Amino acid sequence: MGIRDELLKTKLVSQEQLKGCSRQEVADLADSVGGRLPKAYEDFLLSMGHGAGKFLAGTDTFWPVLPLLRDAANRLLEESSAEPLTPSAFVLYMHQGYEFGYFLLDDGDDPAVYQYAEGWPAPQQVWGSFTDYMAEMLEHFSHAHSSRYVGR
């Protein structure tokens, strides 16, 4: 079962709130980074690349900001006197301008995800795969939204 199905299973997001990218948008994004995106990430884009209700709200991770995130991440690294991203790094999210995550385009169909936060000396691998990253985001989302109803 993929992240889309897991997200729908929570009943915190409806099918109508999942807005996927078109195949052409995914192809254009892939072309802009050298021709290929990891399959796990393509699946994410096709199922919810334009938005997913409140899931990941407050984090820049959806179309149309995706092509802008790399430059923003490199600015953050420069401000922190950290090394710039390697050419194969694809920034998949930026949160509030002080934290971002990326994967390496040459790291297979379900690449590890690295994170950097303002003030850190360097990015670090936090998740073993994009799937692991999405599973943790879903867990946080589910917990945050279900805990609001405890005791009512």
- How confident is the model over 33-55, as pLDDT tens digits? 987 999 999 999 999 999 999 99
Of 127, 98, 130, 136, the residue nearest 111 (C-alpha): 130
Plot region of 29 (φ>0 → left; ψ -120 to 50 → alpha; else → beta): alpha
What local confidence, expressed as pLDDT, does residue 10 receive? 86
Q: Residue 18: which H helix or E strand, with range?
A: strand 18-19
Query: Is the pLDDT confidence value at 148 over 50?
Result: no
The whole-number pLDDT of residue 146 equals 64
**Rounded CA gap, 139 and 73, in Å?**
25
Contact 44, 134 (CB under 8 A): yes
- Tens of pLDDT, residue by residue over 94-142, are 999 999 999 999 999 999 999 999 989 999 999 999 999 999 999 988 8
Encode pLDDT of 50-74 as tens digits: 999 999 988 999 999 999 999 999 9
Two structure tokens written together for 133: 């990253």
Query: Which runs of E-coded beta strand occur in 97-136?
Result: 99-104, 113-117, 124-127
For residue 79, the model assigns a pLDDT of 92
Residue 58 structure tokens: 């407050």
Q: Answer for the pair 74, 82: CB distance below 8 angstroms, yes or no.
A: no
3-state secondary structure 39-101: HHHHHHHHHHCCEECECCCCEECCCCCHHHHHHHHHHHHHHCCCCCCCCCEEEEEEECCCEEE
- Residue range 16-31: mean pLDDT, rounded: 96
Model pTM?
0.91
pLDDT single digits (tens) 69-92: 999 999 999 999 999 999 999 999
